[in-house]
Amino acid sequence: MTDLSLSTSFDGLFAYLQEITHAVHGLREALESNDVDRLPAALNLTNTALGAINLYPGGAQALRRDIEHFPDEKKMVLMKLLDEASLDHQINGDLIRLAMQRSTAMQSFIAQQAPSATYGSDGGVPGSVGGVLSRKV
């Protein structure tokens, strides 16, 4: 994100929210396309963007209050950007949870395919010594 001189003018808030929305949406696109190469940069940009909301004087609640002071037409434009960023942020959380579940499932699948996860050629259990299972199993 660029260093925005934070302004409570419509143009200032519009640019501020547009950068935040763009960053959060970029992470969503990287997650949806499983683009592992883009993830580190997208995560950093999103963290910076979400940090920018927290750095807003008074935090996210003050940002919403400042938006409420605009005429309805401008307020709708700003709230739409904020709502888009919020929705993408929620979806990103869901996509990250799904990716973690997928990773766990793949690790389990790979572990089951390992030679030590099956019976040996003599019919015994690998890792057993004299009919007693070792601590490995």
Q: Where are the domains of the chain?
A: 10-117
Q: Is 8 helix (H, G, I), strand (E, B) or coil?
A: coil
Continuous segment of H or E residues that includes residue 128: strand 128-129
Contact 27, 90 (CB under 8 A): no
Query: Per-residue confidence at 4, pLDDT binned at 50, 70, 90?
Result: very low
Each residue's pLDDT tens digit, 48-84 = 998 888 888 888 888 999 999 999 999 999 999 999 9
Report in angstroms the alpha-carbon separations of 78 from 44, 75, 84: 24, 5, 10
pLDDT at 3 exceeding the cut of 60: no
Each residue's pLDDT tens digit, 82-119 = 999 999 999 999 999 998 898 888 888 887 776 665 55
Contact 49, 23 (CB under 8 A): yes
